[in-house]
A and B are shown apart, each in its own frame.
Chain A
């Protein structure tokens, strides 16, 4: 399961993810992180059964947490099944079925945004708040 964690760094450089790993014992996989002097955003992957405990601990430490599910939306009226997105996706979210129709496994997505940028037909977008 993937969680999008955002936290403020104004009160200091607390090692929030390391703290959560130590406190919960859950091994966290950081898929993507963007951290600057004032705030941070990390996309982490954890086992489904540990979701609650990790989420609660992160919240206690002052982070806001959003569970990510099917974050990428494919507009089938715009998509022409070209496949431009297939090879540029680092997570192999996209593939063709046997009839060369584009298929998407949005659960694998880590929100890098590359496919949204390059889709020639602007058929891909991100669901929910940016």
Chain B
């Protein structure tokens, strides 16, 4: 049996369509079987409500008198991109306020406008014959803008990896606060209700398909940026009219220590045309698996700490390596349900009919990493190779002499095999002189926990370590923990005036 989109739309218009949410569908398929579910259900509605950083809105403010060609535009001190035309601008959700930093940003402006609050528009221009005005400052309301067209380049991730932290300090990430020693796991996504998880092969979600966006009727523009459906990480570009959106489904947020983002409610109705679609929409939280990515590794390819299903994540606790770890969602499942339920009501009432894609999305698309033509500086290139070390069994006195001779403040400590076991600084030695009694040997006063770097590490990551741990030098070690150099704040000076600034 098959159904056509026309038949389904006829039933919607007559008010006879059977519409269910993607959360209800697995049970229906279990009870009626696939054929039975195909005969019974016409439309499955999906929904998600979570942080979607890649969001924003095009505005047309209307012309002032005398007119101005806005070259730079700020809305409540948040800069919007004005390199398009005279009174048009695109405001990105993650742009920070110039005055309130991460406490206020593009997302907050969008929420304020949607709530009916007035926003200060400030713009500057160099002035031209046709647009003589140079500055403008005025209050605007959403209703007075000609257009406010939300266009979100990357929304509705098919699924998103969970996050953990095996390191020894708290991390503040776009996946929220990650406690050290895998103290918690965070995740984001609606799982069973997620639009693309219910159409993983992109059969019915594509260009021109109607959707629910921020409480208004919107449309799928097409493939989202960074879409990688071939690896299970499809994304969508979506659009809708901000003027018709509700703050219930559009919320500004700040991820502490990371920045501003926008929580967006997005839902897509899926027409149940054939058995394949029944099977896809029968997906459950138990069927959707993600990796727990270790965010303590500061590189692009972060390792996985384990694999978990959305059902496990949503239960509040998962087990990794025999340890039970608490989980936090960053998206709201309750609001995702509200989106799917409201969309269901729209279709049942005939307010929204369905459409097939005017052009399908490519299910084989895969996102690739950047091909960098110039590699950033590595520790190897700026480290100091002449590094004095001291044995752990030597006298503190000898360490002091070495520090003086080497005109350095840091002395890596090695054992009999030349392996790094600690570090002493001029400060440690001064302390030992003022408060003797801990012992006479380097091993008695050295710090055993040494933060190190490696020759291949990016200088940016080494700098981050210096900042984070509030230290001024990192011993450079090879794989066997032999000291082959040292990187101090002084070496960073080599970056200036060198080829890295070109």
Binding site for B on A (CB under 8 A): 80-88, 92, 95-96, 99-101, 114, 117-118, 120-122
Quick one: given A81-B332, A121-B251, are A87 and B256 in contact (CB under 8 Å)? no
Given A84, A101, A121, which contacts B186 in the complex, CB threshold below 8 Å?
A84
Quick one: given A81-B332, A96-B316, are A120 and B185 in contact (CB under 8 Å)? no
Is there a chain A Cβ closer than 8 Å to B449's Cβ? no
Stretch at the interface among B200-208, B222-230, B321-329, B393-401: B321-329
Could you list some 15 contacts between A and B, CB below 8 A?
A80-B334, A80-B335, A83-B328, A83-B329, A84-B176, A86-B328, A86-B329, A87-B184, A87-B185, A87-B186, A87-B328, A117-B256, A120-B261, A120-B330, A122-B254
Could you tell me if A80 and B49 are in contact, using CB atoms closer than 8 angstroms? Answer: yes
CB-CB contacts below 8 Å: B332-378 with A = 332-335, 337
Q: How far apart are the CA atoms of A82 and B333 in the complex, in Å?
A: 7
Could you tell me if B332 and A83 are in contact, using CB atoms closer than 8 angstroms? Answer: yes
**Contacts A83-B328, A87-B328, A118-B255 supplied; 9 other A-B pairs, CB < 8 Å:** A82-B330, A84-B177, A86-B327, A86-B329, A88-B176, A100-B337, A120-B253, A120-B256, A120-B330
Is there a chain A Cβ closer than 8 Å to B239's Cβ? no
- Interface residue tally on B, bucketed by range: 20 to 34
Could you tell me if B337 and A88 are in contact, using CB atoms closer than 8 angstroms? Answer: no
Could you tell me if B184 and A88 are in contact, using CB atoms closer than 8 angstroms? Answer: yes
Q: Which residues of the other chain, A, contact B261 by a CB distance below 8 angstroms? A: 120
CB-CB contacts below 8 Å: B171-211 with A = 172, 176-177, 179, 184-186
Given B177, B251, B333, which contacts A114 in the complex, CB threshold below 8 Å?
B177
Q: Which residues of the other chain, B, contact A85 by a CB distance below 8 angstroms? A: 328
Nearest-CB residue, chain A, relative to B51: A120
Nearest-CB residue, chain A, relative to B255: A120
Q: Which residues of the other chain, B, contact A95 by a CB distance below 8 angstroms? A: 316
Is there a chain A Cβ closer than 8 Å to B90's Cβ? no
Kindly provide the distance from the CB of A96 to the nearest chain B CB, expressed in whole angstroms: 7
Kindly provide the distance from the CB of A76 to the nearest chain B CB, expressed in whole angstroms: 12
Kindly provide the distance from the CB of A49 to the nearest chain B CB, expressed in whole angstroms: 32
Nearest-CB residue, chain B, relative to A116: B256
Could you tell me if A86 and B316 are in contact, using CB atoms closer than 8 angstroms? Answer: yes
Is there a chain A Cβ closer than 8 Å to B310's Cβ? no
Q: How far apart are the CA atoms of A110 and B337 in the complex, in Å?
A: 33
Q: Which residues of the other chain, A, contact B332 by a CB distance below 8 angstroms? A: 80-83, 100
Is there a chain A Cβ closer than 8 Å to B155's Cβ? no
Nearest-CB residue, chain B, relative to A115: B177
Is there a chain A Cβ closer than 8 Å to B58's Cβ? no
Nearest-CB residue, chain A, relative to B256: A118
Q: How far apart are the CA atoms of A98 and B256 in the complex, in Å?
A: 28
